[in-house]
């Protein structure tokens, strides 16, 4: 719900200041009409105190209810009613306070229409101010809600993107373990441990958005060890990273889908031995990582939009950096290169 | 009896080999790393049974089977793949989900041995192949065989398809290739955002169109980038207009 403008200290100060000026003006005008200073001040004090009360009342009420239709009519009726009530009270109360002054009573009676007009305008002005205030607050709140909702959706999507563990990978690895148990139990044990380390690392990473290059490469090596057991001598990997890049940060689990993609297409496009090459370079505010796999331009299936790997990475980079140019691919006749750039946020 | 193992993971093959030791009457005549090798080996050895992985280098298991004139009995071995499993179930063909146990493996082999009617089994495999094309990552190319050579036609190279008796002619810039499939099959397997069936016997790739001209009463022809003319029926024209936003 919107807060009343009276909840703000600043507004209260303005309101009191304006009230004092207004009351003094009122008294001065009365004095000009030959009323004594004392009478003029008393009259001003009472009528303006009541008027301020009416203003506060209507403003607070608008906080709870603002009509959508027939606004003007509704507000007009409220202003008329409040001004009329104010005038009635004034007509009854003022003679009680300023006693035994027949000239004043005549003046009061004569000035009633003018007083009514001024009260109507004052209250109307207060209504206008409040309506503006509340609608602005409503708008701010709905903007905030929308921004919150978008942020939540973005975080949920990022979480999901980080979580893309391929069930294929898991089941095929378990199948390899199953095969090793019979023939090479020691290796089976090693693979179970590697797989556990990898899965544990994956679960941990799902909670964190950013990791250092060193951490990410460590995790990637575990993954590659498992893949090497699965594909045997056919898969070889090479990781080259400048030492000074080690502390640069990147979104966690970003490289694995790229490497997985490279392995998949490298192995599935060619039947020879496959070398997957990962290189990391850094500039002061940019980390660049390229992943290369051998590729046969004649038999390779077109890779645009193939598989989840690249499009998921693209989407993540967009959500994090609002840029679409951070992931690029190049192909010549024998090598396919995926290049990813990660700006270093301060 | 002869068997061939086709799987790109050496360990997966060694497991099947180990399990198969329980059946001394079945001899493994060859082990293959991918669909190409598998194709050659099956043609050469004419095995009674093959163990086939689905995801493999070059061409996948389904594509390999499509290219065989007389596919042998197949037991699929695959990791989780929801689509493929539905297809297998529908055609009562046995499949082993990795990782699988010796008991489950034995059941599959015994099921095959008890199958009296081998012809029935092969018919099921063929029925399976007619439905497996729509797997999400298998529809962006068409694999054809020319004599003993295999050709992979990537999606961008497909100009249009023409029905011709029991075959479909796939037109590419390098000529036409035959594939024994139906038009309905390609309607399901090719990306409907890119391909549209404009006639009972024709389907074309939308991005290949340069012009559409009226032709006789009630019909049109589409002229493709390479100059080929493809008939467009009245309902096909309506579909085209919708897709092109006319």
Domain boundaries, chain A: 5-151, 163-343
| Beta-carbon separation of A231 and B10 below 8 A | yes
How many angstroms separate the CA atoms of B177 and B167, rounded? Answer: 10
DSSP lists the bridge partners of residue A238 as: A277
pLDDT of residue A306: 44
Cβ separation B97–A171 shorter than 8 A: yes
Query: In this predicted structure, what is the pLDDT of residue A190?
Result: 92
Contacts B80 to A, Cβ<8 Å: 167-168, 171
What would the mean pLDDT of B100-124 be, rounded to a whole number?
Answer: 82
Cα-Cα end-to-end distance for chain B: 62
Task: List A residues 259-318 in contact with B (Cβ-Cβ < 8 A).
Answer: 267-271, 299, 301-302, 306-307
Average pLDDT over residues B35-63: 87
Q: The pTM is what?
A: 0.64
* CATH label, A163-343, candidates 3.30.565.10, 3.55.40.20, 3.30.750.210, 3.90.980.10: 3.30.565.10
| pLDDT of residue B96 exceeding 70 | yes
**Does B81 have pLDDT greater than 60?**
yes
Closest C-alpha among B205, B86, B92 to residue B141: B205
pLDDT at residue number B66: 81
Please identify which residue in the block is written with the tokens 């373990």: A177
Average pLDDT, chain B: 85
Please enumerate, as own/partner, the contacts of B227-233 that have beta carbons within 8 Å and a separation of 24 or more. Answer: B228/B159, B228/B160, B228/B171, B230/B160, B230/B198, B230/B199, B230/B202, B230/B204, B231/B198, B231/B199, B231/B201, B231/B202, B232/B198, B232/B199, B232/B202, B233/B198, B233/B199, B233/B200
User: Which uninterrupted H or E stretch holds B192?
Assistant: none
Rounded CA gap, B36 and B32, in Å? 9
Which residues in chain A touch residue B102, judged by CB atoms under 8 angstroms apart? Answer: none
- In chain A, residues 169-208 whose CB comes closer than 8 Å to chain B: 171-172, 174-180, 182-183
Which residue among B8, B81, B98 places its CB closest to the CB of A175? B98
Task: Tell me if A301 and B8 make a contact (CB, 8 A cut-off).
Answer: no
Backbone angles phi, psi at B135, to 5 degrees: -60, 135
* Chain A residues inside the 8 Å CB shell of B15: 175, 178-179, 182
Which residues of chain A have a CB within 8 Å of the CB of B18? 179, 182-183
Q: How far is B214 from chain A (nearest CA, A)?
A: 35
Instruction: Give residue-wise pLDDT tens across range A189-236.
Output: 999 999 999 888 888 876 777 889 999 999 899 999 998 888 887 889
DSSP string, B118-170: HHHHHHHHHHHHHHGGGSTTS-SEEEEEETTEEEEEEGGG--EEEEETTEEEE
C-beta atoms of A176 and B12 within 8 A: yes
Rounded to a whole number of angstroms, the distance from the CA of A281 to the nearest CA of chain B is 31
Q: What 3-state class would DSSP assign to B84?
A: helix
Element (H or E) spanning B159, and its range?
none
Give the C-alpha separation, A27 to A40, whole Å.
Answer: 5
Which residue positions in chain A have pLDDT lower than 70? 1-2, 67-70, 160-166, 206, 268-271, 297-309
Q: What pLDDT, on the 0 to 100 scale, is given for residue A305? A: 39
Q: How does pLDDT run across B175-234, given as a tens digit for each residue?
A: 899 888 888 888 878 888 889 999 999 999 999 999 888 888 788 999 998 889 999 998
Give the HSE-up count for residue B198: Cα atoms under 13 Å, Cβ half-sphere: 27
Strands B73-78 and B209-215: unpaired
Q: Which residues of A touch B141 (CB under 8 A)?
A: 301-302
Contact A168 B99 (CB under 8 A): no
The predicted pLDDT at position A180 comes to 93
Query: Residue B246: its pLDDT value, please?
Result: 74
Asked whether the beta carbons of residue A299 and residue B79 sit closer than 8 angstroms, the reply is: no
Contact across the interface for B11 and A176, Cβ inside 8 Å: yes
Q: For B128-183, write each residue's pLDDT tens digit.
A: 776 665 454 546 788 888 877 888 888 888 999 999 888 899 999 988 998 888 88
Tell whether the model's pLDDT for residue B116 goes beyond 70: no
Tell me whether A232 touches chain B (CB under 8 Å).
Answer: yes
Query: Cβ neighbours of residue B226 under 8 Å, at least 6 residues apart?
Result: B159, B173, B208
Q: How far is A139 from chain B (nearest CA, A)?
A: 38
Q: Mean per-residue pLDDT for B98-119?
A: 85
Helix (H/G/I), strand (E/B), else coil: B41:
helix
Is the bond into B99 cis (omega within 30 degrees of 0)?
yes
What lies within 8 Å, CB to CB, of B112 at 6+ separation is B49, B73, B75, B94, B121
The answer to whether the CB of B20 falls within 8 A of the CB of B3 is: yes
Q: What percent of chain B is predicted at pLDDT more than 70?
A: 89
A276 by DSSP, 3-state: which?
A: strand
Domains of chain B plus CATH, in order, are 2-132 (3.40.50.2300), 154-244 (2.40.50.1020)
CB contact under 8 A, A182 and B33: no
CB atoms within 10 A of CB A301: 19
């Amino acid at each position: 719900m919107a807060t009343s403008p009276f909840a703000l200290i600043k507004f209260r100060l303005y309101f009191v200041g304006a009230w004092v000026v207004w009351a003094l003006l009122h008294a001065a005008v009365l004095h000009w009409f030959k009323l004594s200073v004392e009478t003029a001040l008393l009259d001003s004090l009472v009528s303006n105190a009541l008027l301020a009360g009416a203003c506060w009342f209507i403003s607070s009420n608008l906080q709870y209810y603002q009509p959508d239709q027939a606004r003007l009519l509704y507000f007009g009726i409220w202003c008329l009613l409040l001004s009329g009530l104010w005038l009635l009270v004034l007509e009854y109360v003022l003679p009680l306070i300023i006693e035994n002054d027949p000239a004043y009573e005549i003046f009061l009676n004569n000035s009633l229409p003018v007083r009514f007009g001024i009260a109507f305008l004052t209250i109307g002005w207060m209504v206008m101010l409040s309506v503006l205030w509340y609608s602005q607050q409503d708008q701010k709140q709905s903007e905030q809600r929308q921004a919150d909702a978008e942020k939540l959706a973005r975080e949920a999507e990022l979480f999901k993107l980080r979580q893309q563990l391929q069930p294929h990978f898991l089941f095929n690895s378990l199948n390899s373990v199953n095969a090793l148990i019979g023939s090479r139990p020691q290796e089976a044990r090693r693979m179970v441990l590697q797989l556990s380390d990898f899965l544990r690392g994956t679960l941990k990473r799902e909670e964190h958005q950013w990791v250092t290059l060193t951490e990410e490469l460590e995790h990637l090596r575990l993954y590659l060890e498992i893949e090497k057991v699965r594909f045997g001598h056919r898969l070889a990997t090479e990781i080259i990273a400048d030492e000074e890049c080690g502390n640069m940060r990147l979104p966690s689990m970003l490289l694995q889908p790229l490497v997985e993609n490279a392995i998949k297409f490298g192995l599935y496009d060619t039947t020879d031995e496959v070398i997957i090459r990962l290189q990391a370079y850094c500039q002061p505010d940019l980390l660049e990582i390229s992943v290369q796999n051998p590729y046969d331009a004649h038999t390779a299936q077109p890779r645009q939009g193939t598989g989840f790997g690249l499009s998921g990475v693209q989407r993540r980079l967009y959500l994090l950096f609002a840029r679409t140019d951070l992931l690029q691919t190049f192909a010549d006749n024998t090598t396919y290169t995926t290049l990813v750039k990660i700006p270093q946020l301060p | 009896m002869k068997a061939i193992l086709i799987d790109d993971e050496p360990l997966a093959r060694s497991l099947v080999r180990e399990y198969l030791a329980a059946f001394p009457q079945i001899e493994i005549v060859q082990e293959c790393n991918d669909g190409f090798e598998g194709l050659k080996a099956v043609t050469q050895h004419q095995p009674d049974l093959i163990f086939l992985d689905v995801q493999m280098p070059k061409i996948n298991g389904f594509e390999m089977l499509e290219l065989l004139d007389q596919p042998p009995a197949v037991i699929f071995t695959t990791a989780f793949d929801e689509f493929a499993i539905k297809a297998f179930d529908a055609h009562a063909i046995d499949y082993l989900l990795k990782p699988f146990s010796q008991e489950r493996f034995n059941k599959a082999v015994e099921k095959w041995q008890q199958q009296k009617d081998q012809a029935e089994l092969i018919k099921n495999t063929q029925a399976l192949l007619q439905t497996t094309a729509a797997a999400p990552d298998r529809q962006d190319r068409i694999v054809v065989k020319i004599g003993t050579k295999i050709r992979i036609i990537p999606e961008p190279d497909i100009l249009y398809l023409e029905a011709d008796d029991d075959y479909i002619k796939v037109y590419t810039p390098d000529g036409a290739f035959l594939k024994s499939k139906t038009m309905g099959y390609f309607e399901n397997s090719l990306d409907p955002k890119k391909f549209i069936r404009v006639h009972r016997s024709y389907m074309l790739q939308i991005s290949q169109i340069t012009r559409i001209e009226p032709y006789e009463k009630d019909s049109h022809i589409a002229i493709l980038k390479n100059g080929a003319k493809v008939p467009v029926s009245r309902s096909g024209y309506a579909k085209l207009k919708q897709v092109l936003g006319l």
